[in-house]
Structure 1
Amino acid sequence: MKKILITGGKGLVGRNAGEILSDDFEVFSFGKDELDITDRENVIKIFNEIKPDIVLHSGALTDVDLCEENPEKAYLVNSFGTQNVSVASQNIKAYLIYLSTDFIFDGKKNSPYSEYDIPNPLSIYGKSKLLGEYFVSHLSDKFLIIRTSRIFGKGGRNFASKIPFLMKEKEKIFLTEDIINSPTYVVDLVNTIKFLIKKEVFGILNFSNKGFCSWFDYGKKIKEFLGLETEIIPVKFKDFKEKKAQRPPFSALNTELIESLGFKIPDWEYSLKVFLEEIWK
């Protein structure tokens, strides 16, 4: 059985990956307290001890506004932490899978972004993740960069995962109608990762659920599925004065390339319903 080492093991993707992949791989999962990716010597030491065949690097600083307020930390974790993981993976000839983001794009294209579109990040978060892509692609012989967006799933602490709970608690909620991207159900993402590992795919691929929506549309669909009375009020992103980082207005992902490999991707509405049934079954 091949070994897979997971960084960010206590995050949404890392936890789900640890559970789903354990049927097919010997899993070594590390949270940030157990594996500090900013400490190169420690990363190399742990990688050399375990000698994983595959590394799933999901560890990252993903709070977009925190990254904007603390760029030094964003680059330390997302860029140079990824550099350390890349070096350690290359040392043991491991297959490195790096999770990137739709935030590497500026959102000015007005149609879904393919793997061949030129990145132009607007935020520190996007810039730090793009530099991480650079390190992965230049320091690793065997790598796969998966660009994904708006991940949601059971136990997630991010906004996409928490909206259903907020809508159950509140009489009204304000959601943006001018930030549009592609939701990604974490279970679908991890199953895709398993599929790509078995196919030994290298390079850069987009993955999200099929279709795209605004946060307002996303909330309306949750309201419909759960039969809620919550009032959903559409607003513009500029109305949220406390948000420090720019977001791409349209960063939906084109998934035709991964579909050409034979992977069938569910629509975001279908997977959202599966998620809601999972948390309220």
Structure 2
Amino acid sequence: MKNILITGASGMLGASLVNDLKNQFNVYATGNSFFKEQHSQFMKFDLKSDCYLELIQWANPDIIIHSAALTNGNFCEKHPIDAFNINGISVQKLLNATNNDVKIIYISSDAVFPSSLHLAKELDCVFPENVYGKSKELGEFFLKTSNNRSYTIIRTTIFGLNLNTNKVGFAEWIINTAKDRKELGLFTDVLFTPISIWDLANEIEFLIKTDNINSESLHVAGELCTKYEFGCKLLDKLNIPTKTLSKTLISSYKDRAKRSNDQSLDSSYYSQKYQRELISLDQTILKLKEHYEYN
């Protein structure tokens, strides 16, 4: 049975990956904080540490899924050293701490691309416009320039629900704000291609089981929509009133990190190469509804 080390396991995607893979592989989880629902094999570890030897000797991984990241754009702009350490330099430290037999799946972002690209493809030139995107580009660089290492870079935009109740994601913020009947403004001028954490976990599971970690970049994302359209569909599916929901423009927010108006990714290469049919926005929101009601 393969040993899989999942970083960022106290975060939304990492915790979901642990749940999805723990019954099929020997999963070791690490995160920056303990939490009530954490995996039994969990180590609290600071990715800013100089030495990763303790973590690697503990997990002895065959595969590392590196999902840990600082994703708050404003925080990254104010703390660039932390952003580059955790999102980028950590990749080099993982490479240094492991031999070439250890495969790495690195969760990257649409933020590595410039605003001018619509439905960015894998071979399009990266040109990040903020610290977060630049830190992710650095992580990609370390993998692409590593010698004789099998890796997969997955660029994506996720949404879901946090198993760690100390954290709140984009979808949860929409739900909680609407339920509390507070003003909820969502952008009509921002395009993205969201995929649920559960659907992304399914695709990562597929790549591992079929041994398709082939030293490449893949776009694994969902259906194109605006942030406003996403919020409307989500609240409608959950039967939550939308009276406080309003249309806003990202261009009207000056005191925030620069973020592209077009955050869309084209997943057709991945879908065609591996014969994977990515589900629609309605289907993936339905999956969120099922998890929301279950929890």
SS of the equivalent of 1:192 reads helix
Is residue 46 of structure 2 the alignment partner of residue 36 of structure 1?
yes
How far apart in 2 are the matches of 1:200 and 1:264?
19
- Measure how far apart 1:128 and its partner are: 0.5
Which stretch of the first structure deviates more once superposed, 157-166 or 190-199?
157-166
Q: What is residue 146 of structure 2 aligned with on the other side?
A: 139
**Greater fraction of residues in helix:** 1
Q: For residue 126 of structure 1, what is the amino acid of its counterpart? A: G
Q: What is residue 63 of structure 1 aligned with on the other side?
A: 72
Q: For residue 127 of structure 1, what is the amino acid of its counterpart? A: K
Give the direction of change, closer, same or farther, for the CA distance of 1:72–1:171 in structure 2 (3 Å limit): closer
Could you tell me which runs of 5 or more consecutive residues in structure 2 were left unpaired when the two chains were aligned: 34-43
Q: For residue 93 of structure 2, what is the amino acid of its counterpart? A: N
SS of the equivalent of 1:39 reads coil
Alignment TM-score, normalising by the size of structure 1? 0.92
Q: For residue 270 of structure 2, what is the amino acid of its counterpart? A: I
Q: What is residue 149 of structure 1 aligned with on the other side?
A: 157
**Contact 1:74 1:125 survives alignment (8 Å):** yes
**Contact 2:8 2:31 survives alignment (8 Å):** yes
Aligned residues: 276
Is residue 87 of structure 2 the alignment partner of residue 78 of structure 1?
yes
Q: For residue 31 of structure 1, what is the amino acid of its counterpart? A: G
Q: What is residue 250 of structure 1 aligned with on the other side?
A: 262
Q: What is residue 221 of structure 2 aligned with on the other side?
A: 208
SS of the equivalent of 1:52 reads coil
Could you tell me which runs of 5 or more consecutive residues in structure 1 were left unpaired when the two chains were aligned: none
**Contact 1:105 1:120 survives alignment (8 Å):** yes
Q: What is residue 262 of structure 1 aligned with on the other side?
A: 275
Which stretch of the first structure deviates more once superposed, 144-153 or 114-123?
144-153
Give the percent of matched residue pairs that are identical in Structure 1 and Structure 2: 28
- Measure how far apart 1:269 and its partner are: 2.0
- Measure how far apart 1:154 and its partner are: 4.4
How far apart in 2 are the matches of 1:19 and 1:117?
33
How far apart in 2 are the matches of 1:108 and 1:9?
33
Q: What is residue 220 of structure 1 aligned with on the other side?
A: 232
**Contact 1:38 1:76 survives alignment (8 Å):** yes
Q: What is residue 128 of structure 2 aligned with on the other side?
A: 121
**CA shift digits 1:207-245 (9 cap, x unpaired):** 112x111111111112321233323211111323332x1
**Contact 2:158 2:197 survives alignment (8 Å):** no
Q: For residue 5 of structure 1, what is the amino acid of its counterpart? A: L
Task: Provide the alpha-carbon RMSD of the alignment.
Answer: 1.7
- Measure how far apart 1:49 and its partner are: 4.1
How far apart in 2 are the matches of 1:119 and 1:152?
26
Is residue 104 of structure 2 the alignment partner of residue 93 of structure 1?
no
Q: For residue 72 of structure 2, what is the amino acid of its counterpart? A: D
Q: For residue 38 of structure 1, what is the amino acid of its counterpart? A: K
**Contact 1:205 1:258 survives alignment (8 Å):** yes
SS of the equivalent of 1:139 reads coil
Once superposed, which parts of structure 1, at least 4 consecutive aligned residues long, lie more than 6 Å away?
none
Q: For residue 237 of structure 1, what is the amino acid of its counterpart? A: I
**Contact 1:185 1:268 survives alignment (8 Å):** no
Give the direction of change, closer, same or farther, for the CA distance of 1:142–1:227 in structure 2 (3 Å limit): same
**Contact 1:171 1:229 survives alignment (8 Å):** no
Q: For residue 240 of structure 1, what is the amino acid of its counterpart? A: Y
Q: What is residue 275 of structure 1 aligned with on the other side?
A: 288
**CA shift digits 1:65-99 (9 cap, x unpaired):** 1001111111121111222122223x262010100
How far apart in 1 are the matches of 2:176 and 2:146?
42
How far apart in 2 are the matches of 1:227 and 1:151?
19
- Measure how far apart 1:114 and its partner are: 0.9
Alignment TM-score, normalising by the size of structure 2? 0.88
**CA shift digits 1:99-128 (9 cap, x unpaired):** 00000111212x311111111111100000
How far apart in 2 are the matches of 1:115 and 1:195?
19
**Contact 1:154 1:278 survives alignment (8 Å):** no
**Contact 1:150 1:160 survives alignment (8 Å):** no
